[in-house]
Structure 1
C-alpha cells in the first residue's frame, strides 16, 4: 500500500510567518481558503464515532483555570472515530484516537491516581468503560485486517506497541500504519522532564520504522478526510477534519468541550467571565502548554475550519476527542451543549483487505 496524500492549500505558507500575531492573522485567511477547497473536494465515504472510556481529568487544566468548582476533576469521555475515505480508487480505513486505555494506565499521572484511590474506586467510581477498540470494530463488521491507518491527535497516555508491535509485543493490526507528525514522534521518543508525566514510558519503543508515516504539516487524505497540523498542546498535535455532504467536523483535544471555542456561550461558572476579562475567543485545554500561543492559533484554525454547527448554530462544529461529560462527581462542570457525534455513511469492510486475505 502506498499513500498519495497531498497538502491542503494556503496553510503551510501562513504558518511560515515567524511573528505569532501576524501568523494568526494569516492563518485566519488561509484556513477559510483551505476549508473551501476541502469542501469542494466532496464528502468522506463514512465516519463512525465510538465511545471508549470516561475518566477523570484535573479541573484546573480543562479550562486553563477558568472553571469555578470545588471538584478537583472534570469527567471526560475518550472517543474514537472510524473514518473511511477513497484513496487511489480504494476505500481506506483510518482509526483516529484508537486508545489502548489498558496500556494507558501506565502513564505516570494516571498510575499515581490509581495508587492514590485504589483500583476499585478508579475502575468502578471514577471511570466507566464503554467498549474497547476491538469490540467497536467487531460491532461495525470490521476485522484488524481492514484497518489501513491509525492516528492520534497527540501521544499523551498512548502506547502504540499493542497495535503496531514493538519491544517483543505482537501487532494487533497486521497492515495498519501510524500517521503521526514528525515533531510528535521525535518528541515522544525524547521526552523533556515536564512532558514525562503524560506519556506512557517506552510507549513507542521498538515499533518498526516501516509501520510509521511521519507527517510534516497538514495532509489531505482523500475526499472529505484530512489531518490538520494544530501544534501547541503538544509540539506535534494534530486534528481530524471530516466533511459530509452537509457540514465539516473537526476533532482534537485542544479543547475539552464545544464551548471551549465559544466561551462567551458557556454556562460553566467562571468560563465566560474569564474569557471576557482576558479578551479570549477560545479557552485552552492547558495541562502541558508546550506552546500556548500556537495552541490558541491552532484552536482558531479548528474553529474556522469546522464552521458553525448545523444543529446549534451559536456553537462551532468542534468535537473533543475527550469530551467533557456530566457527572455527579463534578458539580458545576457539565457541558453547556453536546453536539451529535460525527457519524455519516456506512462503514464497511475493505475490499483490499479481503483480497489480501
Structure 2
C-alpha cells in the first residue's frame, strides 16, 4: 500500500467534518471515526502517522463527541487542542511540546447553566424532572415526504435500526430514554400505500412512531381536504403510530401556506370539516340496555370514555374509564360511588 493510498483510505474512512480536521506545520490531523486516535499526514514528507489520545478519553463509553483544534504556545509552537463532550461534561485537553497531553479544564455544563439561570433545563437533568415522559427523535431529515421518495435508499440514509440504536445510546448517556420517532409530516400529493410502506419500515425499529409537524399544502381546498384525509387514515390505521401533532391549524399563523384548517375569519374550511368528521367517525358512541347480568357490550376505540347510566328509578350516574391499547380483558366499571 502506498502512502497516498493509506492517506486516502484513512481520510475516507473517518467520517470527518470541519470540526475534526486541523492543518498546521504542513501536517494534516484528523480524528478517527470513533475518536480512538488522531491520524496524521505530513504533506511534504508524504508520511502518515497517528497520535494517541489521553487514556481517560479512550476509556469513555458511548455518547462521546470530539472537536479537534489547535493553539499557539509562548515559544511559537502550534499544538493540538482537543475538546471532549460526554453527557453534560466538557473537558479540554492540550497537547504538550514534549509529547502527551495535559488536562486544562473540566466544565460541568448543567451546573454552569443553572448558575446563569436557575430556570434552564439541561437535558442531563431532564429524566429526573420529567420522570417517564416520552422523548421523541424528531430529526430534520426525517420527513414523511423524504421517506416516501427514498424508500429504496432508507438503509443508506437515516431510517435504520442501527441509526436509532446509536441515537438511543447517546440520549441514554444523558440520562434520557427515547420512546418515540417523530416523522415530520410536511408533504404533498400523498399516496396511502406508500405512506403505509414508509411506516412499516420505521416500525422495524420497535420504537413507537408519531406524525409531527403534519400539514398538506394545496391551493385547491377540496383537494387539500382529500389529501389530508389520506394521511390521517393511514396514520391512525397503523399499529406502530402512537399519535399525530399538527404543524398548525389557523390561517396567518402557519409557515406553510394553504394547509390550514381554519380560515383567518374563524371559518372552518373543507380540510377542517373533514378533520371534524373523522373525529366524529372515530369516537365510539354506544347506547343500549344492560343484560340480565349487568353487562353491556360494545365495540369501540382505545382511549378515554365517559359512561352515563340512567337507572330504572331515574337516577343518573357518570363515570370515566380508559381502554388501553393491547388490553383485551373484560372491563369492570364501578358505579357504586358514581
After TM superposition, the score normalised by the length of structure 2 is: 0.24
More strand by share: 2
More helix by share: 1
The structure whose RCO (Cα within 8 Å, separation 6+) is larger is: 1
